[in-house]
Amino acid sequence: MIFFLFLSLYLFLQGLLFMRLRNQLQRRFQGNKARWAKFLLGLFFLLMLSPFAWRLLFGWQADDSLSWLVRILFAASAVWSFGSTGWIFLLMAYDLFPRVTALFSRRPASPPDPGRRLFLKKGLTAAAAAPFVVSGYGVLFGRHRFQVDHLDLPVNGLSSSLDQLSVVQLTDIHVGPFMPEEELAAYVEEVNGLKPDLIALTGDFVSASPEEVAPCVRALARLRARYGIFACMGNHDVYARVEEDLTREFERQGVRVLRNDAASIRVGNTTLSVLGIDDLRWGRPDLARAVTLAATEPGEMRLLLSHRPEVFPEAARMGLDVVLSGHYHGGQVKLAPDPRALSIARLITPYAEGLFHLSRRLQTSRAGAKDSVLFVSRGIGITGLPIRINCPPQIAHLTLRKA
């Protein structure tokens, strides 16, 4: 619902901008020149809107011969979408400013000052370029410049064997036109350089097509971790109908796929339980089954992989210690780098990105004095438009600490 509200607002603003530019062309040109100018303007707006229709109808899919065209069109649309939205807001503010100042001014209106008006127009022109510069950076650079974030996950009563155990999480990879195999290989190399004890892959491996399975698996097969690599499925893996293919190919490469399942890992003189469930909305999640299976070889600590973070309250009530999730990409576009900054994701879920805790009073007596911790990663890929602003791709290097 939030997505369609934002889409409706965007289309409304695009309509306002189109009419404004159309009127400008009407005043500037006459006759055939005016008709051609308005035709080209309309064609341009339709072209910039076409990726939204393409995504609804085809996802990211395209013939190999057209993939370059799709990438260029989506990239150009992303620059235009965010740049033009900022532009129309500036124009609206420019129109509104004289009316607002007139309401609060007690002096009689003075004759227009041509010099002042020219200055304001030049300033507006310079300001109008800023949204396009920012969105251009987000498309060309922002979605490529990933961060390795080192974070501690506090766990009550953790033994010395699990204290300082390192877990690297990759999520929302979205192999496809905007995450080719060679780019994913760079992430794999960076992860291996961290020498993690455990690697968690929390879904959305592909964007839309079964053809994306092979390059994804080839790249991720080079991951290395002391105690193994574990994965769960995401909604895009369901959309593309590749859950079975991914599961089979990952298992061949030694990646344990947990689909409402659990695994026990011996670490020193203790045991860690890793659980995984299917996507909460599009899969067939069964947390109770995964918990029951984990109880057959109970571990000192239980770590849950769930693509969507909304399972957290239920997981806490069932006494799970740590939940790792993704799905929301941190919003991809935020007003500021802070994890709490406003984004579309913040309006959809309370768990857009970052660390979250649930106090022990929300948990059952079985959990005792333990609190539960959720970490939601921004992921490394993109969905929708290929842009990231104030929201760089994230490799999460997580270290368990005794709380």
For 292-313, what is each residue's pLDDT tens digit? 999 999 999 999 999 999 999 9
**Cα–Cα distance, 352 to 341 (Å, whole number):** 10
Phi, psi of 334 (to 5 degrees): -130, 160
**Residue 66: is its pLDDT beyond 60?**
no
Q: What is the CATH number of domain 149-402?
A: 3.60.21.10
Sheet strands side by side (includes 166-170): 147-155, 394-402, 166-170, 198-202, 229-232, 255-257
pLDDT value for 60: 53
pLDDT value for 364: 46
Where do we find the tokens 């849950």?
Answer: 304
**Cα–Cα distance, 241 to 259 (Å, whole number):** 15
Report the range of poorest mean pLDDT among 3-12, 167-176, 386-395: 3-12
The angle formed by the CA atoms of residues 298, 303 and 308, to the nearest 5 degrees, is 135
**Residue 359: is its pLDDT beyond 80?**
no
Q: How many residues does the chain have?
A: 403
Report the range of poorest mean pLDDT among 64-78, 303-317, 389-403: 64-78
pLDDT value for 365: 44
**Residue 266: is its pLDDT beyond 90?**
yes
Mark residue 164 as left, alpha or beta (left: phi above 0; alpha: psi -120 to 50; beta: remaining): left
**Cα–Cα distance, 140 to 145 (Å, whole number):** 10
Report the range of poorest mean pLDDT among 91-105, 116-130, 153-167, 182-196: 116-130
pLDDT value for 362: 45
Contact 47, 39 (CB under 8 A): no
**Residue 91: is its pLDDT beyond 90?**
no
pLDDT value for 210: 93
Prediction pTM value: 0.86
Which residues of the chain are in CATH 3.60.21.10 domains? 149-402
What's the average model confidence in pLDDT over 65-70?
66
**Residue 100: is its pLDDT beyond 80?**
no
Where do we find the tokens 């060679």?
Answer: 182
Crossing angle of helices 181-193 and 213-220, in 10° steps, is 20
Contact 386, 179 (CB under 8 A): no
Q: What is the mean pLDDT of the chain?
A: 88
